[in-house]
Each structure stands twice: as C-alpha cells, then as structure tokens.
Amino acid sequence: MSSSNLKKKVFIETLGCQMNVADTERMLGLLDEIDYTQTEDREQADLAILNTCSIREHAVDKMRSYMGRWDKTRKPGSLVALAGCVPQQEGTKLASDMRTADIIIGTHNLHRLPDLVLEAERRRELNQINGIEEAFANKGVYASRPQVAEIWEELPEDIPETPIFRKTKYYAWVNVIYGCNYRCTYCIVPKTRGVQRSRPISEIVSEVQNLADEGYKEIILLGQNVDGYGLDIDTKLATLLREVHKIDGIERIKFLTSHPCDMTYELIETVAELPKVSKYFHIPIQAGNDQILKRMARRYTVARYMELINYIRKLMPDASITGDVIVGFPGETHEQFMDTVKVIQDVAYDACNTAIYSKRPFTPAAEWEDNISLAEKQERIRFLNAICTEVAEKQALRYLDKIEKVLVEGKSVRNPNRLTGRIFNNKTVNIECDPALHDKYIGAFADVRITRTNPWALRGEFV
C-alpha cells in the first residue's frame, strides 16, 4: 500500500478464525483501490471496520460492546462498518438494530466493500450539503447516518478475484475453498460462509507463484473444510499440494482446517512424500464418544478418527497433530465426557482447542434441551484443559536439544528482545537473540537448538 498523505486511513479489528484474518487482508487490498491505507490507531481512522466472528453464543453481545465503545470515541466525520459472520448471520435487520454502523456487509459479497464505502461517503456528503449535522454532533439521533447495508444470501457463482494486502512479509494465507457442505448440529458456518466452492487449481497456482516471486517463503492453504477441496470441481487436495509443491521459492506448505470425513489415506501419503509440506495436521474431533458425534452430525466414529491418526503416526512418527473439542454438548453424560478425555490422551495432541458448547441460532442443537449446568460445564473444561496441558507438555519434550529449522517471523510480543517463529511442524519457538542481530534473522530460515520446552511453545538459540 502506498503511504501517500492523500490517502484516507482505515482501521480493521479482526475477530475469530484464520478465514477472518484472510478476509481482512482482502478488505485492505480492496480499500487500497479507493485510496485507503491501513492505520493501527482507530481513533484517527476515516473508516473503522469490525470484522466479526459468530462461532460463539455471545458474538452479537460482543459486537454491540465494540460498536458502543467505538461510537463514543470515533473520529468526527468518520465511517464505521460491520463486516464478517455476524452480519451474514443476522441479515440486513442489523441496519435497524445497529444504528451506530454506517456500513453493514456480509461475507458473501466482500468484493462489494469499495462500492458500499463510496456510497456511504456520497450519502454523508449529501447530508453535509443539506445542512444535516454529523452523527458525532447529534448523539442519539441516528436518522442522519449514511447507512448502507448489503448482505447476499448466497456466494456468487463465480467468486471474484480480489486484491490482497498481506499483513506479513514471509508467509501468506491462500484461500482454496470457501464454505462447508456439512451440517453439524452446533455449527453456524454453513449459514455464514455458504456451501463449499473450490477455486480452480490454475488460479491458486498463479497466486502462489506471484507470492514466490514477491519473496514469500511459506503458504497456508485455507478452508473451513480444506480436505474437501476439489470435490466440486473433479480434483482433490492431494493433487493441489503436488502442483503447489513444484513452485520454486516456496519452502514450506501447510493446510487447514481438516475434516475427518474428507481426510484420505492418499492425502496423508502425499504429505509424507512431499518434503516441502509441513507434517502438521489440524483435525478437530469435537467429541470422543460415538453417540455425541452422531448427535453432532459429525459423520464419523472415534474408531475411524483413530485410524487416520494411527496412519499419520505410522508414516510420520514426529508429525504434529492438533484438534478441537466441545465440552458440555446437550445430553453429554459424565461417562461420555470421560471418553473424550481418553481420546485426547490416546491421540497425544500437540495442542487442543477446547470450548464449552455454545448455542447458536439457525442450528438444530439450539432447539434442544441444554440439560448440563454451567457449573458442571466449567468443571469439565477445567479438568479437560489440565489433561490437554499435561499431554502437550509430554509431546513438547521430543524437541528438547534438537536442532530445528525455523522461519523467523519477527519479535516476540511478550519480550521484544526475543525473536519468534515456527518450526517445520508448526510449533512456535521463542529465540534468545542480541537485538542488534534481529534484522539479520527476521524473514529468514535459521537452525535453532531447542533449549527449553513447555506445553505452548519452545525456547531456543541460534546455532
């Protein structure tokens, strides 16, 4: 992005998953075309965007809290926009519910963002011409806001290619498939992201080639169900990995998030075979009991899940495996919960994301009796987190005293005297380093000896 003083400033707060992070990069690229440049100071922004997540129950409350705070501290004359999964979930009725928002846009028509911003700017100018006070000078009276709301129910047949402003210089997210065809009974994703739609291999390869030409070293192929890639266009993820693997300059390839139903032995064999593909799998199980999995409509059994895990371990003994688990799903008994605990121990996850079941609108489970008390759910998740930590701590020990190749991404957030990066298997490493040498290492691959381990990250020193 140009840093020209003629450009207006945009601030984007991103909530939620990697798909939202990728959407934010697309928004920045689109807005660059109408002369907006990124700022980290929201109160100085001409346009502030909240890119929302709706995966948890209190998503709308969280959105209202943000918007209320933003409205009180917004720059005079600025625009505020709501984007992402909450608007897609709630629909255009948000226009009347959230009068503090000037622009409301969903996930399916993100490419329309510049047009909506320009329309909001035009309406604001008309208000000025007609002598209508700016909203900041007329607190509580929202009728004069230049409100523009547009939410498409479906993804367009041909998903438009959009410019992308990459927030990192060394690794890049690359969307390969949008949406999800599964209808898990707890999940809002099909509502907010639509049905699965794969991008053509040629389009993806072209994007990755451009990234390689720009000096990017690592790419992450991204999808709500990345293993479903190509099922709608007569190809598959294993084929895409082989094509991307051929591109010179790209040294590391990852993909996420996987679904056990679409993961195949061929995909696992392809990962084992291709040296540039990270031996890292994020495969949510969600529950370790077959009856609960059936109520969740997950379409696999614990035995099938463990078959996949065991095959990964057979071909790649040091592979890193992470997962997701939901605690307190309606009807879950204590015995069924303990089945989940056992699966976590059997899989030996490097890390596991845990969450208390969250009731979401437009999902079947939202209509079911939630017969587990909050106190019981909290007790279960505390116990589960302790088990996850114990398992992850044991898994991390296998890296102690080993030398790992690390892509150094930048300074550690918690300690700017350290650098941080990730090993080939995706584990984070914090590296002791003289600040005078930081520029030498940032953005490069380097050999690092692992000197300490903990459940969440490794500590190391340059060799």
159 inside domain: no
Do residue 18 and residue 60 come from a single domain? yes
> What pLDDT score does 163 carry?
73
Do residue 206 and residue 117 come from a single domain? no
Do residue 285 and residue 224 come from a single domain? yes
In the 8-state DSSP scheme, what is residue 136?
G
Do residue 360 and residue 414 come from a single domain? no
CATH code for the domain of 91: 3.40.50.12160
Burial of 259 (C-beta count, 10 Å sphere; 0-12/13-18/19+): buried
> What pLDDT score does 362 carry?
86
Residue written as tokens 């995909």?
267
Per-residue b or e along 98-120, where b marks 16 or more CB atoms closer than 10 Å to that residue's CB? bbbbbbbbbbbbbbbbbebbeeb
- Tokens of residue 379, six digits: 């007790």
- Tokens of residue 391, six digits: 């398992």
165 inside domain: no
CATH code for the domain of 438: 2.40.50.140
Do residue 386 and residue 457 come from a single domain? no
164 inside domain: no
Q: Of 176, 259, 189, 184, give the one whose Cα is nearest residue 219.
A: 176
Do residue 327 and residue 274 come from a single domain? yes
> What pLDDT score does 155 carry?
72
Do residue 394 and residue 405 come from a single domain? no
- pLDDT, tens digit, 9 for 90 and up, residues 92-118: 777 777 778 899 998 888 999 999 999
236 inside domain: yes
Domain, as residue range, for 420: 400-462
- pLDDT, tens digit, 9 for 90 and up, residues 21-64: 888 988 999 999 899 999 999 999 999 999 998 877 777 788 88
For residues 13 and 23, what is the distance between their CA atoms, to the nearest angstrom? Answer: 11
> What pLDDT score does 137 carry?
47
Do residue 393 and residue 410 come from a single domain? no
Do residue 143 and residue 111 come from a single domain? yes
* Calculated CA dihedral for residues 224, 230, 231, 233, nearest 10 degrees: 130
347 inside domain: yes
Do residue 373 and residue 265 come from a single domain? yes
For residues 199 and 398, what is the distance between their CA atoms, to the nearest angstrom? Answer: 38
CATH code for the domain of 392: 3.80.30.20
311 inside domain: yes
> What pLDDT score does 140 carry?
46
Give me the number of domains the chain comprises: 3
Residues in the chain with pLDDT < 70?
1-6, 130-145, 157, 159-160
Do residue 179 and residue 261 come from a single domain? yes
1 inside domain: no
> Which residue, 91, 117, 150, sits at the end of a domain?
150
Do residue 389 and residue 412 come from a single domain? no
For residues 460 and 400, what is the distance between their CA atoms, to the nearest angstrom? Answer: 9
3 inside domain: no
> What pLDDT score does 272 carry?
98
Q: Of 62, 11, 14, 57, give the one whose Cα is nearest residue 37.
A: 11
